[in-house]
Amino acid sequence: MVYNHITYSLSKNDLRMVKSVPPGGNWKNIPLDIPSKRLEQIRVSGGRTTLYGRLSFEKPSYTITTYFNRPGNGTYIHPIHDRVISAREAARFQSFPDNYIFQGSKGSLCKQIGNAVPPLLAFSIATQIKKKTKTKNLLDLFCGAGGLSLGFGWAGYNIVVANDNFKQACETYRVNHKGADLIEGDITNKKIQSKILEKSKKGKVDIIVGGPPCQGFSHAGKRMIDDPRNLLYKEFVNIVKKIKPKVFVLENVEGIMTINSGKTYGEVSRNFEELGYFVIGHKLHAVKFGVPQKRKRVVIIGTLSGDPETFFPKPLICDEKNYITTQNAIGDLFNIETGDIHNPIKIITKPTHFFQKFVRGLLSPQEYVKLF
C-alpha cells in the first residue's frame, strides 16, 4: 500500500505553463503569450534553470524543498503527468520508505518532507560513526518528521529521546518511532528542556544529533551567538554542554560554510571546541549516498576523543552515471493514480529497480547500500 500519494491543485494559468514544459525543461520553454508577472521577472533577471522545471527520467531530482507543491519554486513537475509530484513521490526522493506514514494536513506534509534529512544519508553517517565509537543511545533535537532518527535507527542506534515544537511533525514522529520518548514543546522553555535533560541522562545518551534552525547565520557584522534568531542554536550548544555526549552531529544548510567569509562556521566550531570537542564539518551530497536527489547539506561532527574526520562516510557513488534517477525512484508509481490524504492506494506494479525494492520494504538499508 502507498500512503500520502496525494498531489496539489494548480491554477489554470499554472496548468498551462506546466503543460508547455517537456521532461528536463524549465521556465525557458513556457510561451511568451502565457501571462505571468513572476515569469516576466524571471526572464528579466535570468532566474535559475530549476524554476518551473519538469523532472527528467534519466536524472535524479533536484533538492526537494518545502515548496514542492508549487511548480514555480523548483523542479517539481512530474516527468509524465501534468501536475506537481505527490507527497509520497517527494518522500521517495528523500529516501523515506513507503511504510513511513506522514500525518497532518496536505500543507504540513510539504514542510515535514522538505525539511527532513534523507534517511539514507543519515544511515551512512550513523554507520561510520558506529564503526569508530561505542555510542548507542541517541538524543534527536529538532527532530522534525524523523529523518535523522530513522537513519540512525537503521544503523542500530537506540533513539532514547527526541524533541520538536512542530505539532504535525510530532504526530508523524510518534507514529513511526513508537519506541522513542518524544517530548513535544519549545526547547527554550525551561520545563521542556529540563525533561529533555532528565530523560537523556536517565537513558545514558552518548550521542546528540539535530538540525537547529539558523535563520540568523547570514546576519553580517554580528557575532552569530548573539543573534536573537539563533536562540535555538544556542540551546543545542547548551544541551551538548550539559549532557557532554561522546559525539554530536549537527546538520545544516550548505551556506553555513561560506556565510560571512567563513566566520559563521568558525564561530560554530569555536562554540563546541570551548566545550572540549574536536570539530570538523563537510558538505555532503546526498545523491552520492544512494539518495535520488541532488541535495547538498553541511554535516558538522564533534567528538571528545578521536579524529572526527574519520567519522565521515565515503561516498557510495562516485560516477554520475550510477546516480539513482527519477525513473528508478518513482517509475513504479507512474501509472498509480493519486488519491486523498486519508486513504492509502494499492500498488499493483512490480518494482523495476532495487531502489524501488528498498522503499517498498523488500531490501533492508544494509542490503541496499551493498549493491553499490
Each residue's pLDDT tens digit, 228-261: 656 788 899 999 999 999 999 999 888 788 877 7
* Per-residue pLDDT at 220 exceeds 50: no
Q: How far is CA 367 from the centre of its chain?
A: 22
pLDDT at 214 (0 to 100):
60
* Per-residue pLDDT at 366 exceeds 60: yes
Task: Give 181-185's long-range contacts (Cβ < 8 A, gap of 24+).
Answer: 182/143
Give pTM, 2 decimals. Answer: 0.94
Residue ranges of domains in the chain, CATH in brackets: 12-93+325-369 (no CATH), 119-311 (3.40.50.150)
For residues 114 and 124, give the distance between their C-alpha atoms in angstroms, rounded to a whole number: 20
Question: Which range has the worst mean pLDDT, 146-150, 268-272, 321-325, 351-355?
Answer: 268-272
Each residue's pLDDT tens digit, 80-98: 999 999 999 999 999 999 9
**Maximum CA pair distance of the chain?**
65
For residues 62 and 292, give the distance between their C-alpha atoms in angstroms, rounded to a whole number: 9
Indicate which residue of 110, 143, 170, 214 is catalytic: 214
* Per-residue pLDDT at 156 exceeds 50: yes
Each residue's pLDDT tens digit, 13-50: 999 999 999 999 999 999 999 999 989 999 988 878 89
* Share above pLDDT 90 across residues of the chain, in percent, rounded to a whole number: 83
pLDDT at 229 (0 to 100):
57
* Per-residue pLDDT at 221 exceeds 80: no
pLDDT at 316 (0 to 100):
97
Q: Which amino acid is at 132?
A: K
Active-site residue, 110 included: no
Each residue's pLDDT tens digit, 97-106: 999 999 999 9
Q: Are 75 and 24 in contact (CB under 8 A)?
A: no
